[in-house]
A and B are shown apart, each in its own frame.
Chain A
């Protein structure tokens, strides 16, 4: 049981390039989330999805795009990467009605 996986685990890119971070979960959870983690800010919600084809903005959505055509996948795209988007990105999915979220291993992104 793989749970929730993210790819790539590490990514270096340049300013202005498009980058897509992948998230895949094997639990068939309805809810999925994308967070970014920066020093001094904890984790901040970028986007979330309640089900396939349903997405909504979180606290810091600017510069990001998401899609969810299948329940198990929730890719996050940086359409034109900026240095301020250098961060660690976590994907998570939610267990039922108990609000508990389980997290993927994270993707460390460096934008030069």
Chain B
């Protein structure tokens, strides 16, 4: 069965600095998707970025980018120029066959 592991329960970053959140997953499939979702205090789940496993190029969305290492089954999220509004819980998710499997989450705090 597929599993997703986020080994950092909490992270902290200074405003305007860069932070990287880690995620590893386990699968025997070759075709799948990976996601990072953000959950602010409002609890709304917000899609941050998506990566298709067949694409070698790392996905980027403005200040958010990923480092996708398929062989290592690693999918880290880099947040550049961190802002106070980035403070939230971040979930990594693996998608395949229509379902998502989530990691346990990393709570990110941003210090002014």
Contact = CB atoms under 8 A, between A and B. Distances in A.
A78 interface: no
A42 B103 CA distance: 6
B110 to A, nearest CB: 21
A43 B43 contact: no
Contact of A43 (B32, B47, B95, B102): B102
Interface string B67-110: 00000000000000000000000010001101111111100000
Interface of A: 31, 33, 40-45, 48, 50, 58, 88, 90, 92, 94, 98-103, 105-106, 108
12 contacts: A42-B103, A42-B104, A42-B105, A45-B99, A45-B101, A92-B45, A98-B52, A99-B32, A99-B96, A101-B95, A105-B44, A106-B43
Interface of B: 32-33, 35, 37, 42-45, 47, 50, 52, 91, 95-96, 98-105
